[in-house]
Structure 1
Amino acid sequence: MTGASPSDPGSGRGPGSSGSVLVLGEALVDLVPAGGDAGVRVAQPGGAPANVAVGLARLGGRPSFVGGLGDDAFAGSIEAWLTGAGVDLSLSARSALPTALAVADPGDHGNTYRFHLGDTATFALPDRTAEVPRFGAVYVGGLAAVVEPAADVVAATARAAAHGGLLAVDPNVREDRTLDPVRSLERLRELCALAHVVKASDEDLVRLWPDAEPEASCRRLAGQGRLVVMTRGSRGATAYVRDAPAVSVPALPVRVVNTIGAGDAFVAGMLTWLGAEAGWDPALSGGRTQEMLEYAAATAASVCARAGTEPTAPLGV
């Protein structure tokens, strides 16, 4: 749909089918604590965009992943994980470089990470902007949005999606000594400005706009024509749309086993619902917004209730 813009959310519907999402970003390896032993780490495939792609596939969608894959053993595990879930990798690129690593440190107030990113295949993203019209929606976010050379490719793809489909952004703000904090936040704010749909945690919003309350930032973004969803961990999620009251849902009560990937599962649930139930139109009524949030919250809960980052489709939602 030529001419789509954040101020015209209805025009965000692209010609792609309801289950087709182009997911752009990093697929890397998370080194996470092994069971209850904080001194031992195990390797598991991850990266926020890759988690979203797998989540979309597990929920019945047809995602295509645009990423950089290396030639080491980690890359082989990542490829097997993505294709095993049903993610199309035909638009990804491969190189002889190694895979990026993220060392996870889960804590009472969320997960922190230390990254090994330099000179890796993970951020050698191919330019697939010409493919954007094929898809119902495009998702961007995560480290690839701020790490060169991937960041320029992400920005170009986001601009194409903003003018020809539905662009969904999860800023997923990361802090690390290897990242330029000023330029990283600038890039993420630019992506949010292009987006038709923004999903952000309350912590993301504070980092992006430290001079405003998270709710105020959400209302400002929504007032410009976006669907904005703020997640607050165990306190649930709230959606904001222009000229309508905010809609909130609680987090589903589960015995929490794991929180890594819960936010990515929430995004996958949101996009699955928007494609299947709203035809990629983010201009939702209050009742429909609540349905979307409930589906996304149940998807995230399915990850929190067990080890791993792959969601299962909610039942009875």
Structure 2
Amino acid sequence: MTEAPVARSGRERSVLVVGEALVDLVPAGGGAGVRVAQPGGAPANVAVGVARLGGRASFVGGIGDDAFGDTVERWLAGAGVDLSLSARPALPTALAVADPGDHGNTYRFHLGDTATFALPDRAAAEAGRFGAVYAGGLAAVVEPAAAVVAAVAREAARSGLLAVDPNVREDRTLDPVRSLGRLRELCALARVVKASDEDLVRLWPDAAPEASCREMAERGRLVVMTRGARGATAYVHGAPAVSVPARPVRVVNTIGAGDAFMAGMLTWLGAEADWCTELTAERAKAMLEYASGAAASVCARAGTEPSAPLGV
């Protein structure tokens, strides 16, 4: 793992999100084998989450020229996400078939020859205008998008604050060795890393998740590990780890909860810390509680859009 870049201060609070916007086919309530289409994709969920939580988000992605693409565009724009850096190639929208289970969600993907991974290459030149840049999701590992994501990430790491959620996906269409290598490279560039305990095990199988987090934190990163119903822990250089429990809710849905958590982190860091990542224990706890509340708001109802947590 390399040393983290130094974030500059005094930047505007907007977030540039680079990655995929696709359509999730999720189980219909009570319908055996029936799926309903809802817009999604981890980066798109994060962009919408930031906007819904009161932040400013711009999205860089490829949006299909089909009916699904129209739905995705209305969803993003309706949340207040700026789409001026996105494109609509004459290609269809990628699909992700979701299978929620007791131990998380699994997906099967239909990705080939879609607009979803035809990202405009001008995004790297825009990265320095934003308070933070988010990268992650399938676009980080699926070509031709992966090359664009890597270029944007390198520029963001050089000129500002890069936040990464590796969000490891496994599918027969993905090369696991190459995919994990690219995600590790993104984490090495980032100043903020949010990852689930399962993602950390997949990325660094020879180390305990806590050890991987501490190593990244000791190299100057703000690292947050999420553990689903068992809460979340923040690791900051030179300080003890800080943990908070998950907010208790009646779980209706878990799709998009991790993305809502990430959106909560970014919104809090922009509004409350001016993108400073060297947090005291008290401020790290406040950030975790806000992000956990955003995630809980998604778990408590259908859909992936968070609402601002109350009592935080």
TM-score (norm 1): 0.96
Partner residue of 1:90? 84
State yes or no: 1:172 paired with 2:167: yes
How many residues of Structure 1 are paired with residues of Structure 2 in the alignment? 310
What is the distance in 2 between the residues matched to 1:252 and 1:315? 11
Task: Verify: 1:30 aligned to 2:44, yes or no.
Answer: no
Give the drift of 1:6. Answer: 5.0
DSSP 3-state at the match of 1:174 = coil
Query: Pick from 73, 80, 95: which aligns with 1:79?
Result: 73
Q: 2 CA distance for matches of 1:101 and 1:15? A: 39
- Aligned with 2:140 (options 134, 141, 145): 145
- What secondary structure does 2:116 align onto? helix
Of 222, 237, 244, 2:239 maps to: 244
2:210 maps to 1:215: yes
On the 8 A contact 2:117/2:144 being kept in 1, the answer is yes
- The residue type paired with residue 117 of structure 2 is F
Q: Distance in 1 between matches of 2:66 and 2:4?
A: 44
The percentage of aligned residue pairs carrying the same residue is: 81
Q: Which letter does structure 2 place at the counterpart of 1:119? A: D
Q: In the alignment, does 2:51 pair up with 1:57? A: yes
Q: Is the 8 A contact 1:30 1:103 kept in 2?
A: yes
Equivalent position of 1:130 in the other structure: 125
Supply the distance in 2 between the matched residues of 1:270 and 1:7 (Cα, whole angstroms): 19
- 1:192 matches 2:203: no
State the one-letter code of the partner of 2:249: V
Which residue of 2 is the match for residue 155 of structure 1?
150
Aligned to 1:277: 272
RMSD over aligned CA atoms reads 1.0
Determine the structure 1 residue equivalent to 2:106: 112
Question: Residues of 2 paired with 1:22 and 1:166: CA distance?
Answer: 10
TM-score normalised by length of structure 2: 0.98
Q: Secondary structure at the match of 1:302?
A: helix
Looking at structure 2, the residues matched to 65 and 86 of structure 1 have their Cα atoms a distance apart, in angstroms, of 10
Residues 171-199 of structure 1: CA deviation (Å, up to 9, x unaligned) = 00000000000000000000000000000
Match of 1:262 in 2: 257
Letter in structure 2 aligned against 1:140: A
Is residue 65 of structure 2 the alignment partner of residue 44 of structure 1? no
Quote the offset at 1:17 in angstroms.
Answer: 1.4
Structure 1 residue matching 2:303: 3-state secondary structure: coil
Aligned counterpart in structure 2 of residue 288 of structure 1, from 283, 287, 295: 283
Alpha-carbon distance in structure 2 between the residues aligned to 1:198 and 1:49: 14
8 A Cα contact 2:4 2:188, kept in partner: no
TM-fit CA distance, 1:315: 1.6
Using the TM superposition, give the Cα deviation of residue 248 of structure 1 relative to its aligned residue in structure 2, in angstroms.
0.2
> SS at the partner of 1:23?
strand
Q: Which amino acid aligns with 2:251?
A: V
1:12 is paired with a residue of what secondary structure? coil
Find the aligned partners of 1:180 and 1:256 in 2 and give their Cα distance. 33
Indicate if the aligned counterparts of 2:298 and 2:305 stay in contact, CA closer than 8 A. yes
Please list the CA deviations of residues 21-54 of structure 1 after superposition, one character each: whole Å capped at 9, or x if unmatched: 0000000000000002231000000000000000
Match of 1:253 in 2: 248
Is the 1:15–1:135 Cα contact (8 Å) retained in structure 2? no
Opposite residue 217 of structure 2, the aligned amino acid is A
Q: Distance in 2 between matches of 1:132 and 1:87?
A: 16
Work out the CA distance in 2 between the residues paired with 1:30 and 1:107.
15
- Amino acid paired to 1:55: G
Would the aligned equivalents of 1:31 and 1:42 in 2 still touch at CA under 8 Å? yes
Aligned to 2:159, what secondary structure does the other structure show?
A: coil
SS of the aligned residue for 1:45 comes to: strand
Contact 1:57 1:86 in 2 (8 A): yes
